[in-house]
Amino acid sequence: MKEKLLKKQLTIFLLIAFGLPMLMGALLYYAKSQGQSVESIPIFQMFTPALGAIIAMTVTSRKNENFPKFTYYTYIFSSFIILAIVFASVFIPNFQGDTIIGIVVIASSVLVLIGIIADKKRRRIPYNLDLKKFSKVLLVVLVFLILYFLKVGIGYLISNDLSTFFGFFKTEKIFYAVSLIPTFFISFAPFFGEEYGWRYFLQPILQKKFGMIKGLVILGVLWGLWHLPLNLFYYSAKGSEIYSLLNQIFMCIGFSIIFGFAYGYTGSIWAPVLMHFFNNNLILFFTDSMDPSVIQNQEINMQGVLINAGLSLVLYGIFVFSKYNRDKKYRISTPNERLAVNEEINSTR
């Protein structure tokens, strides 16, 4: 019975989290070939892992008395609104999809946060939505930020260009970095979208089946491959597609290890959500124009892949030696294990 339930959940998750992005890859290729704006497609893709996890849990556990209806249904509704906006942006001339999606992301972030805060603890804990262990979360985020800046700095050192690295530390850039803290609360939905799918849902399932470390590595590879449409048609310049994908896979393995450590150490999904948020948004810190399109059409070669892979696997991969990533007694419970424990507690009340 348990295996049948898990198989059903995984099928739903994989069809949505991986199936939708692969289908959207065709739309991304078409939109780019037509000179259309494509910025909205990666945003929708970020929603799909959580969308897959949430729909899987909704189908199989919505009758649970502690099911977080408002939070889950808000996320599902927001995801499909964004999907509709993506299609409108591609097929309706002069449709201001990027602006509308920005509004939807803000609205969904605020509503999800309100739902989580309003829900009682007995609803938050089984679905790992609880806002807890602030000091531990803050600590791992600070450690990640130090390693993030160190990784970028070493990259510039290898290129013999440290002066450029230090040149980015200007007053306006510092203000930008600080402004990300309040911005998080109104724009976390896409990052929650990835982490709730990868960390809350898939990571503990893979670790239970394959072991602690192997589970993290498999997750990193799957996560990297999940980016395939973006590597082919968004991130890379012509001729760099394979290098872009290889780079993505190595980075995701590194992230999978350090995010997995953060999740295991804190027990909070918000640690990897915050780390993912800062990782993506601090890219602009190291640009002259502060233009988000800098991540598009990147020219990547094998040397760049090897340097980035080495830095990611050393600085982030070192956490593979942590007991939270090695010892199975620190494995985060799978979604079904969480619900089973919660039901047992409720039955004894």
For 281-336, how does the pLDDT look when each residue is reduced to its tens digit (9 = 90+)?
999 999 988 888 889 989 999 999 999 999 999 999 999 999 999 999 999 999 99
H helices within 239-301, ranges in order?
A: 241-266, 270-281
Whether the CA torsion 97, 100, 106, 112 is positive or negative: it is negative
Task: Dump pLDDT digits (tens) for 92-121.
Answer: 888 888 889 999 999 999 999 999 998 877
Coil, helix or strand at residue 62: coil
> How confident is the model over 129-160, as pLDDT tens digits?
988 889 999 999 999 999 999 999 999 999 99
Provide the pLDDT confidence category of residue 341 given band limits of 50, 70 and 90: confident
Q: DSSP string covering 81-108, please?
A: HHHHHHHHHHHSTT--HHHHHHHHHHHH
User: What average pLDDT does the segment 59-79 reach?
Assistant: 89
Where are the chain's structural domains? 2-347
- pLDDT, average across residues 155-167: 94
346 pLDDT exceeds 90?
A: no
Q: Of 21-30, 34-43, 98-107, 299-308, which gets the smallest average pLDDT?
A: 34-43
pLDDT of residue 145: 98
Q: Per-residue confidence at 64, pLDDT binned at 50, 70, 90?
A: confident
Residue 181 has pLDDT above 60, yes or no: yes
- Mean pLDDT, residues 203-210: 97
Please determine, for residue 229, whether its predicted confidence score (pLDDT) is greater than 80. Answer: yes
Close Cβ partners of 69 (under 8 Å, ≥ 6 residues apart): 62
| The pLDDT of residue 348 | 55
Residue 161 has pLDDT above 80, yes or no: yes
Angle between helices 212-226 and 203-210 (to 10 degrees): 130
CA distances from 290 to 20, 183, 305 (A): 30, 16, 24
**What pLDDT score was predicted for residue 339?**
86
Return the exposure string of 239-278: e unless at least 16 CB atoms fall within 10 Å of the residue's CB, then b: ebbebbbbbbbbbbbbbbbbbbbbbbbbbbbbbbbbbbbb
Return the amino acid letter for 83: L
What is the distance between the alpha carbons of residues 110 and 115, in angstroms, rounded to a whole number?
9
Per cent of the chain over pLDDT 90 is 80
Q: Is 298 helix (H, G, I), strand (E, B) or coil?
A: strand
Asked which of 1-5, 96-100, 124-128, 161-165 is least confident by mean pLDDT, the reply is 1-5
Kindly report the CA angle at 185 between 184 and 187, in degrees rounded to 5?
Answer: 60
| C-alpha dist (Å) from residue 10 to 49, 103, 110 | 11, 31, 29
Q: Is the pLDDT of residue 256 over 70?
A: yes
CB atoms within 10 A of CB 189: 27
- Secondary structure (3-state) at 236: strand
Bridge-partner residues for 298, per DSSP? 236
What's the pTM value of the predicted model, to 2 decimals? 0.95
pLDDT of residue 343: 66
